[in-house]
Amino acid sequence: MTLFKQLTIGVSILFFVLLAGVEAIYLANARAQLQEQLGSQAQDAATSLSLRMATLGRLDDKAMIETIVNPVFDRGYFQELRVVSVDGQVLVRKALPAKEAGVPEWFAALFPIHAPSAQSLVSSGWSQLGRVVVTSQPYFAYQQLWQTGMQTLAWLVFGYLAAIGAGAAFLAMMLRPLREIERVAVQIGQRNFTTVAIVPKTRELASVVGAMNDMSGRISKAMDEDAALAEKLRREAYVDPLTALYNRRGFERQLQALIQSTGDVQASALALVEIRDFGDFNAKAGYRRGDEVIALVAAALVDACGGRSTLCARMGGAGFAFVAVNVDQAGLEDMVLRVCSRLERLLADQGLGAELHFHCGVTHRQGALRELSELLASADHAVEVARGKGENEFAIEAFDKSASEGSQAWRALIQECIDSGAIALYTQEVFGLPERKGVHREVTVRLVQGDGEPIAAAQFLPMAVRHGMVGRLDCLMVDKLLGHLEKNPGQEAYAVNVAARTIAAPEDMRRLLALLDARKALAARLTFEMTEFGALEDLELTRRFGEELRKRGARFALDNFSMRQDSLMLVHALRPQYIKLSMGYSREIEDNQDCRFLVTSIVRSTAPLGIGIFAQAVESEGLIPLLGELGLAGYQGYAAARPTRLL
């Protein structure tokens, strides 16, 4: 219950007790006053009647006595009226039957009014003739007390409601800073370090707000500094300072990350662009002019093939490269034509059309990217083909017809396995540092052929993406895993990879979330990983997916993190549970000081957010102590454990 509700209820109870006490005291006093009035009224009536009867001189005339008594009794204010002789004989008696009070019984029980009796002597001179006894009727007193109580209660209820409304408004105004503090505290708990905008006038609250803002500001500043350091180290290590494109080392790192993103790549192309005889131009025109031309060529290249799914780099000297992901043949040809046209126009505008020429060689493959050496060799061959065509020409490696036929075979096989549920789940344990204890198990899926031989994900996932079946495959994997967890209760956590195409398809995303809704108790044991490349495809959709997972108790993480230009922005937007670095870091971290500095800066920039950094493809036992020294949260690879079949 919120503090506002608690205070409102407390104030309401206090006002209720006070007003109930006021009402009770008022009614008690009114009852006492009415009781006295009834007694006084009875005494006055008895005295008046005795004086009038005294004028008779005797009380033997019963008719005369009734003539005197009847007018008084007929008014109905008295319950009984008696005239008694000296010897105790009742000469005249007037009485009304008992009359109900006309008020609720509980009210009459709480505030009882007794019928008082009064008497007066009838005398003639010094002789006593008798006495008059009068008993009051309490009916009218009860009626008056009830009406007075109801009127008073109405006013008190109105005052109570007005007081509660005013009190609630006052509390809302006083607690508004607390609500803002609560909001900011929740955001800080979610690793979003904002500040409290409202500065309360209350000294204690102002002190709390100041301390919280100071803490949040310090953490946010430290995070910004660490992020800036990480970006600075990234640019120094992997970005060409002249063109602001990736250098060869950075390009190869990003390309390796794309090669590992098999579940998000359905088609890919690598292009090499070479400016011929640029060394002679440098010697003739000067290096300053040469640098200017190189910068212009880089800008033209980015402008012609820009987009989130492309990767541009300066490979050295006057050599450039770009990678296009998830582009078909027609789209690739349009992109290459646009690049060549833009470069040719640039050289002409700079008056260099006769001095400098270029060639562009492109290799295009269905499915995931091949190994780096294969890609570069194929692209180099395409460049040689372009040289044979002449100046400012390009060549694209022709599609292999057998690949198209193989694509249809893959489609049939994947469809058959999904329909029959012929998939196998493998797990590889991920260990934490420094304890080297198991943190969770990463689950991968393999197709099971008719002969029972499993097919690795890297072979079929690109085709599943291409033919729009990866969403059904992901849902089948999660369904089988949840079924296994249901039959084998425990606390062990699992991580599963989800393709960007799965959450991009509304039906597949609904089906996946419905699986979690059906087994809510198991959702907390699952973490859903997405590659950095896949998450950047649609950042807002990925963010919503992460929120839906957290609502159901599951977690969200980033896989294959390669530290692109907008990677830290991605981390702050998605707030993943943890991050798994791309495999290239594990290969370089032991021998490359710049790589170690970069990893350390990533760890420092994510530590305030509570995000752990894990290394992948750790195959050397000697690398593990170094990972702990750098502050990594854990590691995964053959040095830890090999994949084993789960079901």
Q: Domain containing 576 — which CATH number?
A: 3.20.20.450
Residue 27 in domain: yes
> In the chain, what percentage of residues exceed pLDDT 70?
95
Q: What's the confidence (pLDDT) of residue 308? A: 59
- 267 and 120 in a single domain? The answer is no
Q: Higher pLDDT residue, 505 or 449? A: 505
pLDDT of residue 98: 65
In this structure, the answer to whether residues 393 and 425 fall within a common structural domain is no
**Residue whose entry in the numeric block shows the structure tokens 């780099």:** 313
One domain, residues 372 and 453 = no
Q: Classify residue 354 by its DSSP letter.
A: T
For position 151, what pLDDT does the model report? 86
Q: Are both 343 and 434 inside the same structural domain?
A: no
**458/536 same-domain check:** yes
pLDDT for 497: 93
Residue 126 CB-half CA count within 13 A? 0
Q: Identify whether residues 103 and 145 lie together within a single domain.
A: yes
Domain span including residue 247? 239-399
CB contact at 8 A, 538 and 505: no
Q: What is the pTM of this model?
A: 0.68
pLDDT value of position 101: 64
Place 399 in a pLDDT band, splitting at 50, 70 and 90: very low
- Which CATH number belongs to the domain containing residue 64 in this structure? 3.30.110.200
How far is 460 from 249, CA to CA, in rounded Å?
A: 29
Do 137 and 255 fall within a single domain? no
The residues, any chain, with a CB within 8 Å of residue 301's CB and separated by 6 or more, are 245, 273, 312, 320, 322, 339, 342, 343
Q: Which of 353, 377, 399 lies at the terminal end of a domain, its last residue?
A: 399
Give per-residue pLDDT as tens, 154-198.
888 888 888 888 877 877 777 777 777 777 777 766 667 777 777
Q: Are residues 423 and 308 in the same domain?
A: no
Share of the chain above pLDDT 90, in %: 29
- What H or E segment, with its residue span, contains residue 397? none
Q: Do 312 and 434 sit in the same domain of this protein?
A: no
**Does 431 map to a domain?**
yes
**What ranges make up the beta strands (E) of 194-353?**
267-276, 310-316, 319-325
Query: Would the pLDDT of 401 be above 50?
Result: no
Condensed to tens digits (0 to 9), the pLDDT of residues 301-311 reads 999 887 656 88
Confidence class of residue 1 from pLDDT cuts 50, 70 and 90? low
pLDDT tens figures, 267-282:
788 999 999 888 888 8
Residue 577's pLDDT is 93
Mean pLDDT estimate for the chain: 85
318 within a domain of the structure (yes/no): yes
pLDDT range class, residue 342, cuts 50, 70, 90 = very high
Domain count, the chain: 3
Flag whether pLDDT at 612 surpasses 80. yes
Highest mean pLDDT: which of 60-64, 134-138, 258-262, 295-299?
295-299
Of the residues 111, 128, 161, which one is the last residue of a structural domain? 161
Confidence label for 623 from pLDDT (cuts 50, 70 and 90) = very high
- The verdict on 485 and 620 lying in the same domain is yes
Q: What is the pLDDT of residue 307?
A: 66
- Residue 333, both tokens: 């040809």
Encode pLDDT of 471-508 as tens digits: 999 999 999 999 999 998 888 999 999 999 899 999 99
β partners of residue 78:
136
Whether residue 491 is found in the same domain as residue 633: yes
SS (H, E, C) 74-128: HCCCEEEEEEEECCCCEEEEEECCCCCCCCCHHHHHHCCCCCCEEEEEEEECCEE
Could you tell me if 416 and 277 lie in one domain?
A: no
Does 72 map to a domain? Answer: yes
